[in-house]
Amino acid sequence: MNRIQQALQQDKKLLSIYFTAGFPKLEDTVNIIKNLEESGADMIEIGLPFSDPLADGPTIQESSTDALRNGMTTAKLFEQLEGIRQQVAIPLIIMGYFNPMMQYGMEEFCKRCNELGIDGLIIPDLPLREYELEYKALFDKYNLDMVFLITPQTSEARIRQIDAASNSFIYMVSTASTTGAQSGFSQQTTAYFDRIAAMELKSECIVGFGISSADTFKAATRKAKGAIIGSAFIKMLREKGIAGIADFMKAIRPD
């Protein structure tokens, strides 16, 4: 049982935080990870910046642009993460687009993730069928979970296929739009949460997109195992830097 699966078995709602590696400053990556664990994060998604992040809203796009300007690369991220498992114990997932991983070399990318203690990958633009035909064996070889995304528009048949292929959690996108903080969830989104819960999938679901406060975290996790916060955390980093992490986390989950 890997770290993601162990986290999913905990008797609590999980709080996962996304941040862009190399933002606000190039060498902030490890300090952000350590501060997040110390402040109560259950999982961390490390964003690998890309010049054309189609699924990301303006806040994350801007952080990617800044990180690339700062000099962040795949090789640099792996260099920064050397020895990270001597410093943090919670699950670490790399979220990024397929092109930079392919440029690095997919097997070498997975191998380095395994060596560094990365637990899984989220690759929004890698189709399920291509993953199963071309890359599943590689992920299995290097003990990496593949996390798939579903949206309100994903058909039930497709969700069932994704559930069958998943070995950790399903990333349940709350909206069909790009990422970004919201003040609350619509009735339509709440009905979507209920519909997925009623399917009784074997995989746990963790909600992403639109979570920015204690209220939205609570609403997102009413029937899901956890929630992911990205844009709101990036905004906080831009305004307050690493010093603001503890207060941000306490505001989301005060208990």
d(C-alpha 14, C-alpha 228), whole Å: 8
Residue 140 among the catalytic residues: no
Least confident of 107-121, 148-162, 183-197, 207-221: 183-197
Measured distance CA(63)–CA(21) in Å, rounded: 9
Weakest-pLDDT range from 51-55, 101-105, 201-205, 222-226: 51-55
pLDDT tens-digit profile of 187-203?
899 999 999 999 999 99
Element (H, E) at 190: helix 187-198
Instruction: State the average pLDDT for the chain.
Output: 93
The pLDDT tens digits for 138-156 are 999 999 999 999 999 999 9
Q: Is 45 a catalytic residue?
A: yes
Picking from 10, 175, 170, the residue whose alpha carbon sits closest to that of residue 90 is: 10
Q: How far apart are CA 39 and CA 91, in angstroms?
A: 15
User: What is the pLDDT, as a whole number, of residue 254?
Assistant: 82
What residue ranges define each of the domains in the chain, with the CATH number in brackets? Answer: 14-252 (3.20.20.70)
Catalytic residue, chosen from 56, 66, 145, 204, is: 56
Q: pLDDT of 69-103, one tens digit each?
A: 999 999 999 999 999 999 999 999 999 999 999 99
Question: How does residue 245 score in pLDDT terms, banded at 50, 70 and 90?
Answer: very high
Among 28, 37, 42, 45, the one annotated catalytic: 45
**pLDDT tens digits for range 61-70:** 899 999 999 9
DSSP bridge partners of 208: 173
Count of helix runs (H) and strand runs (E) in the chain = 13, 9
pLDDT in tens, 168-177: 999 999 875 4
What is the C-alpha separation between 115 and 78, in angstroms, rounded?
10
Residue 117 has pLDDT above 90, yes or no: yes
**Residue 190 to residue 195: CA distance in whole angstroms:** 9
Alpha carbon distance 115, 85 (integer Å): 10
State how far the Cα of 118 lies from the Cα of 115, in Å rounded to an integer. Answer: 8
Q: At 168, phi and psi to the nearest 5?
A: -140, -110
And the tokens for 182? Answer: 């919201």
How far, in Å, are 20, 36, 61, 205, 237 from residue 220 at the CA level?
Answer: 22, 20, 24, 10, 23
Distance (Å, rounded) from C-alpha 45 to C-alpha 183? 22
Residue 89: what pLDDT?
98
Nearest to 16 by CA among 47, 62, 51: 47
